[in-house]
Amino acid sequence: MQANHRSPISPAPGGLWLPLITPFRDGVLDEASVRRLVRHYAAEAIDGLILAATTGEGLTLDKEEVERLVALTAEELTAAGRRLPVFLGLSGSDTRKLMKALEHSAAWPIDGYLIACPYYTRPSQEGMVRHFSALAEGAARPIMIYNIPYRTGVNLGNTAMLELAAHPNIVGVKDCSADMAQSLDLLRRKPAGFSVLTGEDALFHTMLAGGADGGITASAHVGIGVFVAVHRLLRDGEAARALAAWHAICDLPRLLFAEPSPAPIKHWLWRAGLIGSPEVRLPMVPVSDGLADRIDQEVERLRASGLDGARA
């Protein structure tokens, strides 16, 4: 891949970021669908893309697939004339291996990294501070922390988070702490230049109203214009209109997470004609017939209402 030396994003990340699904077909990366997705969402008013993270089934991708995914995305954004920040999702429980991943991807056309807390090993708060500090020192691009204790088994508390927020190369957090008191306390105490983006789709409006800088929102694959509008209206002080807009789409996260993500989102995008197959990789499985029927009905309902932003 050709080197692409991008400057760090400025200001800190905010607004609506899309954690892009990774389309597969017959067991391999579906490059045509990747290109179609990037072109489609590049035309929307999103503020950034996340590649190869949880929604992107990053743990099932090999190194060559990740590099190809990044290259395809960069090519399509360039063709679309869209300067859209792109962060790469990384995860792991070995600081050394993650350092090697940062070194390996240093020249890729990306703007930063979304790095999850170490999973399974359940390190102490001090261990996580040292872990992320080492990664921030070694990274050629800014880092957002991904705090999602119900997946990793460990919660990065606010004391440790605020210590890490002082590092100039740690620019924010995707907050999935599932503890509203912790999230609101972080919003109250966070320093300038450190962004809190909610990763809880069902709390998108609530967290923005509470002062979050934005969201990394898988459900925004669908009805994306409404998610954009909610953010814009709240930013502009139009609270009542923002709430009304949110009410039109607030049941979507429940539907799209009724079974393990991203299978429901992939089914929707397949039915909408944006990807060639709803295929997921084991241990993920396709949606059940019952959920497929419910999604198909909602696709048609949103099409009829004009709220569906996921149409080819």
Segment 94-117, tens digit of pLDDT: 999 999 999 999 999 999 999 999
Query: According to the model, what pLDDT value does residue 12 have?
Result: 84
Q: Active-site residues: which are they?
A: 146, 174
Residue 182, token pair as written in the block: 């912790």
55 is in an annotated binding site: yes
How far apart CA 307 and CA 269 sit, in angstroms, is: 14
What residues of the chain score a pLDDT lower than 70? 1-11, 306-312
Fold of 15-247: TIM Barrel (3.20.20)
Name the residue ranges covered by the structural domains of the chain: 15-247
Query: According to the model, what pLDDT value does residue 175 have?
Result: 98
How far apart CA 273 and CA 102 sit, in angstroms, is: 35
Query: According to the model, what pLDDT value does residue 271 have?
Result: 95
Residue pLDDT, tens place only, 279-296: 999 999 999 999 999 999
Residue 259, token pair as written in the block: 């079974």
CB 37 within 8 Å of CB 23: yes
- Give the side-chain half-sphere CA count within 13 A for 67: 14
